[in-house]
Chain A
Amino acid sequence: MSTSSTTVPALLDVTDVSKSFGTVQVLRSVSLQVARGEVVTVIGPSGSGKTTLLRCVNFLESYDSGSIRIDGKEVGFRETGARQRRSERDLAAMRAETGMVFQSFNLFPHLTAAGNIMLGLTKVRGKSRAEARTIAEHWLGRVGLAHKADSLPAELSGGQQQRVGIARAVAMGPKILLLDEITSALDPELVGEVLEVVRSLAEDGMTMVMVTHEMAFARDASSRIIFMADGGVSAAGPPAEILAADTDNERLRTFLARFRASHF
């Protein structure tokens, strides 16, 4: 597994990103580098800015200052001249390079499992329906749902829907995958099947940034953990270091203590 100290330029480079919703500052000068193939987990109390940070990376949210680069390319703003939002067409093209999986699945309800995956492949990647179908079936197979290709989202369990959500994101061939609390809306017995898919993607070398409350999974699957508090990065490091009970970061210690108290 690679570490953050590589000399290769980072695949994702977040530098000094700040953002406010009205008078509330949700991101305070956040910086974060993710190398190719790395799995980075973001943890922290609710309201600490984790989800907002993730949504800034594919510009579902704009940010007020700082820069976010993927593969050296500025995500939401034009690179020359004054700070200016990219055109919607450019933004769409940039977003196609990042995959995102959502807490509430957000499958398109009128399309089948395969149809959900094929939409981006045909409309954005310009594949024929036949090609798209082949790719969709391949990824549905990868997430263990080959037999559900023609099922509508309403006919699938939460865990199955989320696996389709993952297949939809990775089928586009993104450079980086963003996972936003993807197991939080699932019944406990369905969490495992979804995490298993994420684990296998990590083994394939997929670069991932995930926000999660699954500490055991974060410890096992990630190369680095970022602890966010009050919109800023409070601690960052390898799992063993961050999740140690005797950390001298008081915010982190309190968070972990509360977390253990409520989960065990």
Chain B
Amino acid sequence: MGYALNFNLIWRHFDKLWGGLLLSLELAVISIAIGIVIGLVLAVWYVSAGRIVRTIIAAYVEFIRNVPLILLVYLVFYGLPTVVDIAYSAPTSFVVTLSLYSGAYLVEVFRSGLEAVPRGQLDAGKAIGLTPWQRLLNVRLPTMLRITLPALSNTFISLFKDTSVASVISVPELTYGAQWINFNTFRIVEVYLVVTAMYLVTGYIMLFALRLVERRFRAAR
């Protein structure tokens, strides 16, 4: 085996990777933001709703969690436009998919957090005369957030890595950039080494930032 590592070709096309990383982050941030809204609304609804609503929300969560993300991506990008009259770009389609996907995971995180808020705190909120809405905003959500932060960090990083699936529908994110360089230069080892490092470093920076936030909140307990 006389494979000599040569990174020159990778650096020549590094703009593909850099641009890809930025797009990956953009896809992740937008999808997670929408996912947080979906997750929060459904989780709050779930803990206060009756059996029918709970069943529907649970069905959504179970469906998403038991179907591989790649299949969901195909379904939304290729399947949906053939059934209903919509057209969207691959990145938009992926954001829709990853938002629904992250929403399902975040419902679970937020729901368990809301249920873990000690009953006594809610009683205390009632006892000083807060309305249900005020109790949710001023007592339940802040405590839930502090309980769920570690789980949230893990979910966010996981979702960032999931953006690599967008490469299957040719969204030019980081993994797609790697594939492009591979096809055009055949430097398969080098390009995937570089891309792996880029995912790792980005993941660690995210983790570090989220741990800082956690620490700040934990100090405030």
Residues of B within 8 Å of A98, CB to CB, are 127
* Cβ contact of A108, chosen from B126, B132, B139, cutoff 8 A: B139
Determine whether the beta carbon of A106 is less than 8 Å from that of B120.
yes
**B2 located at the interface, meaning its Cβ lies under 8 Å from any Cβ of chain A in the complex:** no
Identify the closest chain B residue to A87 (Cβ): B131
Contacts of A154 in B (CB 8 A): 221
- A-side contacts of B221, CB under 8 Å: 109-110, 152, 154
Nearest chain B CB to A158 CB, angstrom units: 14
| Distance between B143 CB and nearest chain A CB, rounded to angstroms | 6
Q: Is A218 an interface residue (CB 8 A)?
A: no
User: A67-75, A116-124, A251-259: which lies at the B interface?
Assistant: A116-124
Answer whether A100 and B127 are a contact pair too, CB < 8 Å, given A106-B121, A109-B221, A123-B138: yes
User: Which of B118, B123, B125, B131 lies in contact with A89, CB distance below 8 A?
Assistant: B131
A61 closest partner in B (C-beta)? B123
Shortest CB-to-CB span from A155 to chain B, Å, is 10
**Is B130 engaged at the interface, CB distance under 8 Å to the other chain?**
yes
Chain A residues near B129 (CB, 8 Å)?
A: 92-97, 120, 124, 172
Q: A109-B146, A154-B221 are in contact. Are A99 and B138 (CB under 8 A)?
A: no
Contact of A124 among B118, B124, B130, B143 (CB under 8 A): B130
B83 at the interface (CB under 8 A from A): no
Enumerate chain B residues within 8 angstroms of A109, measured Cβ to Cβ.
Answer: 121, 143, 146, 221
B120-A102 in contact (CB<8A) = yes
Query: A92 contacts B146, CB within 8 Å?
Result: no
> Binary interface profile of A, 78-117, with partner B (CB < 8 Å = 1, else 0)?
0000000000110011111111101011111110000000
Q: Are A92 and B127 in contact (CB under 8 A)?
A: no
Contact between A60 and B130, CB atoms less than 8 A apart: no
Proximity string of chain A (159-172) to chain B, C-beta cutoff 8 Å, 1 when within and 0 when not: 00000000011001
CB contacts (< 8 Å) of B126 on chain A: these are 58, 60, 92, 95
B132 near A95: Cβ-Cβ < 8 Å = no
Binary contact readout B31-68 vs A (1 if CB under 8 angstroms, 0 otherwise): 00000000000000000000000000000000000000
Asked if B131 and A96 make an inter-chain contact with CB atoms under 8 angstroms apart, the answer reads no
Expressed in whole angstroms, the minimum distance between the Cβ of A235 and any Cβ of chain B is 29
Residue on B nearest A59 in the bound complex, by CB:
B126
Which residues of A lie under 8 Å from residue B128 when comparing CB positions? 95-96, 99, 119-120, 124, 168-169, 172
| A interface residue count range (under 10 / 10 to 19 / 20 to 34 / 35 or more) | 20 to 34
Residues of B contacting A110 with CB < 8 Å?
Answer: 142-143, 146, 220-221
- Nearest A residue to B219 via CB reads A152
Q: Which of A143-198 contact B (CB under 8 A)?
A: 152, 154, 168-169, 172
Q: Which residues of B contact A104 (CB under 8 A)?
A: 120
Contact yes or no, B121 A108, CB < 8 A: yes
Q: In this complex, what residue of B is CB-closest to A153?
A: B221
B134 at the interface (CB under 8 A from A): yes
Task: Decide if A120 touches B121 in the complex (CB within 8 Å).
Answer: no
Q: With contacts A60-B126, A109-B143, A119-B138 known, is A92 near B121, CB below 8 A? A: no
Establish whether residues B146 and A107, one from each chain, have CB atoms under 8 Å apart when the complex forms. no
A152 to B217, CA, bound (A): 12
Nearest residue (CB) in B for A99 is: B127
**Within the complex, what minimum Cβ distance (angstroms) separates A64 from chain B?**
20
Contacts of A172 in B (CB 8 A): 128-129
Contacts of A58 in B (CB 8 A): 126-127
16 contacts between A and B (CB under 8 A): A60-B126, A89-B131, A92-B131, A95-B127, A95-B129, A96-B128, A99-B128, A100-B127, A102-B124, A104-B120, A106-B120, A108-B142, A109-B121, A109-B146, A110-B221, A168-B128
A binding-site residues for B, Cβ under 8 Å = 58, 60, 88-89, 92-100, 102, 104-110, 119-120, 123-124, 152, 154, 168-169, 172
Supply 14 further A-B pairs (C-beta < 8 A) apart from A94-B129, A172-B129.
Answer: A58-B126, A92-B130, A95-B129, A97-B129, A104-B120, A107-B124, A108-B121, A108-B124, A108-B125, A110-B221, A123-B130, A154-B221, A168-B124, A169-B127
B residues with a Cβ closer than 8 A to A are 118, 120-121, 123-132, 134, 138-139, 142-143, 146, 220-221
